[in-house]
Amino acid sequence: MSRISPAAILLFLALAMPASADDMFIPSRGALEPADRLVLRKSERSLALYRGGRPLKTYRVSLGLSPEGHKEREGDFRTPEGRYMLTWRNPQSEYFLSIKVSYPNAEDEANARRNGWRPGGAIMIHGLPNVPRHPRERYLSTDWTDGCIAVSNEDMLEIWLLTEPNTPIEILP
């Protein structure tokens, strides 16, 4: 399987973008407006993008290896629960694109400090590994991350295009 270079991804994104910012997310021209909120339902393995209270898209996700409960510390393989923000984007990730979730927040850090733990971090929404060690279907049908939210590469590209920095994400059990 060949690896798509980050430069090729950026070129694709540049070509896919409209000529001006005014054309970007205007429904009358066929494009979706950006999401103003994301909701992850861990028990359903679903990530929904919303705009103005209306669902835009829903995606199937894979979670951390130990998905039950809230992430408390580094290495617990849990996906956090709570209210966070999408912060920065990494087009050169080890996975097909990635967007950082703002875990740990102040409450997460305080809990870890009280217990003498490191809270962990680098919780991302990302696509599949650029260098897979397993068949694609395994990644799409099982929980396999260290606590991140994984989607197919096709879904990751849509999420990348339909979200902006500081978009809130609510992660529910």
Please tell me the number of Cα atoms within 13 Å of 6 on its side-chain side: 10
pLDDT at 15 (0 to 100) = 45
Residues 62-86 have pLDDT tens digits of 999 998 999 999 999 999 999 999 9
Its pTM stands at: 0.81
pLDDT at 67 (0 to 100) = 86
Partnered with residue 125 across adjacent β-strands are 99, 149
Residues 106-158 have pLDDT tens digits of 999 999 999 999 999 899 999 999 999 999 999 999 999 999 999 999 999 99
| Calpha distance 8→21 (Å, rounded) | 22
| Calpha distance 4→1 (Å, rounded) | 10
Does 12 map to a domain?
no
Residue 4 has pLDDT above 60, yes or no: no
Residues 19-58 have pLDDT tens digits of 444 444 434 344 678 999 999 999 999 999 999 999 999 9
pLDDT at 33 (0 to 100) = 85
Spell out the SS3 assignment of the chain.
CCCCCHHHHHHHHHHHCCCCHHHCCCHHHCCCCCCCEEEEEHHHCEEEEEECCEEEEEEECECECCCCCCCCCCCCCCCCCEEEEEEEEECCCCECCEEEECCCCHHHHHHHHHHCCCCCCCCEEECCECCCCCCHHHHHHCCCECCCEECCHHHHHHHHHHCCCCCEEEEEC
Does 22 map to a domain?
no
Residue 18 has pLDDT above 90, yes or no: no
Does 19 map to a domain?
no
Structurally, the chain folds into a number of domains equal to: 1
Owning domain of residue 75? 35-172
CATH of the domain at 153: 2.40.440.10
pLDDT at 31 (0 to 100) = 60
Does 115 map to a domain?
yes
Residue 105 has pLDDT above 70, yes or no: yes
